[in-house]
């Protein structure tokens, strides 16, 4: 019987890696030595809970196959999908659950295959470029420029010292950005959600941009509070000469974003002195 509902667990059928919650694991590989307590051979290490097995089978799944990729397995993990279904995920597929989307998984596979192929080509053709090639391949996901350099190196075997220095700088900057992003994520987890209403805030200007509209246009600014929350709105005319990095205190009418409780839009700002 073809199981059509299984499609949502498949990479090509709407698989959503963030829709699974870990339940339990099992290991049906058999003992190769005698169990000193039971005195028997061939016992499963960690048999599946029979209630879970019944649930799997009632739903048309089973514990001998990875629900995600279909391959045979003798050990794996049980996950509860948001639809309520219990599924089996094998060891190799478990790492896919840490991605946000199926697209990300496919992109990661494509890129690493291509990049590893390029690196192999470089190493076969010239040992001199091995270290640079490895560096570019390991960091190719951090910048389009670096992945482009890897392509060019594999094709032409020439990169100048300046280009290599530039690649190192790009990697350093990308690493710094991801450290900052991780710090902000950790900080913002503790911040309260935005509230709607008119009140004062103090924060740092992250950017100022000119936005044109039907009436001409105005400067808009992105402000980050000390707790990591951000808001976006018009730049008061009193802040004409304000710049990125300045700390400002404004009173404005805030409305929380529908998509992100740590982000708000503001109107009618006035500078608080």
- Min dist CB 68 to Zn ion, Å, is 5
The CB-of-48 to Zn ion minimum distance in angstroms stands at: 16
182 contacts 176 by C-beta, under 8 angstroms:
no
Alpha helices in 43-90 (DSSP H): 50-58
Q: Give the nearer residue to Zn ion in terms of CB position, either 90 or 233.
A: 90
Write the DSSP string, 43-83.
Answer: -EEEPPPHHHHHHHHHTT--TTB-TTT--B-SEEEEEEETT
Q: What are the φ and ψ backbone dihedral angles of 20, each rounded to 5 degrees?
A: -120, 140
- State the minimum distance, in angstroms, from the CB of residue 75 to Zn ion: 12
Give the distance, in angstroms, between the CA of residue 76 and the centroid of all CA atoms in the same chain: 24
Beta bridge partners of 91: none
Distance CA(159)–CA(167), nearest Å, equals 10
Which two structure tokens, joined as six digits, stand for 249? Answer: 């205190």
Q: Considering beta carbons, is residue 86 or 122 the nearer one to Zn ion? A: 86
Distance of CA 247 to the CA centre of its chain: 31
The distance of closest approach from Cβ of residue 84 to Zn ion in the complex, given in angstroms and rounded to an integer, is 21
Nearer to Zn ion, 31 or 92 (CB): 92
Residue 80 beta carbon to Zn ion: minimum distance, rounded to whole angstroms: 17
Task: Return the number of the residue (28 or 152) whose C-beta is nearest Zn ion.
Answer: 28
Q: How far is CA 76 from CA 7, 69, 82, 85, in A?
A: 19, 12, 19, 16
Minimum separation from the CB atom of position 90 to Zn ion (A): 4
CA distance 256 to 262: 8
Q: Contact at 8 Å (CB) between 46 and 25?
A: yes
Q: Which residues bind Zn ion (CB under 5 A)?
A: 66, 68-69, 90, 93
Q: Which one, of 19, 78, 82, 70, lies nearest residue 54 by Cα?
A: 78
Q: Closer to Zn ion at the Cβ: 66 or 188? A: 66
Q: CB of residue 97 vs Zn ion: minimum separation in angstroms? A: 11
Rounded distance between C-alpha atoms, residue 133 and residue 19, angstroms = 37
């Amino acid at each position: 019987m073809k199981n059509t509902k299984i499609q949502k667990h498949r990479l090509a059928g709407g698989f959503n890696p963030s829709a699974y919650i870990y339940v339990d694991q099992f290991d049906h590989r058999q003992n190769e030595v005698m169990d000193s307590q039971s005195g028997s051979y061939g016992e499963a290490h960690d048999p599946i809970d029979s209630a879970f097995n019944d649930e799997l089978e009632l739903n048309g799944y089973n514990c001998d196959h990875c629900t995600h990729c279909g391959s045979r397995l003798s050990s794996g993990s049980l996950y509860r999908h948001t639809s309520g279904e219990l599924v089996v995920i094998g060891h190799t597929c478990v790492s896919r659950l840490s991605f946000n989307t199926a697209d990300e998984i496919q992109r990661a596979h494509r890129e690493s295959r291509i990049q590893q192929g390029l690196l192999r080509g470089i190493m076969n053709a010239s040992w001199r470029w091995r270290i640079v090639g490895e560096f570019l391949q390991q960091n190719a996901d951090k910048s389009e420029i670096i992945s482009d350099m890897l392509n060019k190196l594999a094709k032409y075997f020439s990169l100048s010292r300046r280009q290599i220095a530039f690649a190192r700088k790009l990697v350093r900057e990308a690493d710094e950005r991801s450290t900052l992003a991780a710090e902000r994520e950790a900080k913002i987890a503790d911040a309260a959600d935005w509230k709607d209403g008119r009140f004062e805030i103090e924060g740092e200007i992250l950017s100022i941009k000119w936005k044109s509209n039907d009436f001409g246009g105005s400067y808009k600014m992105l402000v980050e509070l000390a707790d990591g929350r951000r808001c976006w709105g018009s730049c008061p005319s009193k802040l004409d000469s304000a710049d990125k990095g300045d700390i400002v205190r404004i009173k404005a009418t805030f409305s929380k974003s529908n998509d992100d409780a740590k982000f708000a839009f503001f109107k009618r700002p006035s500078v608080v002195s």
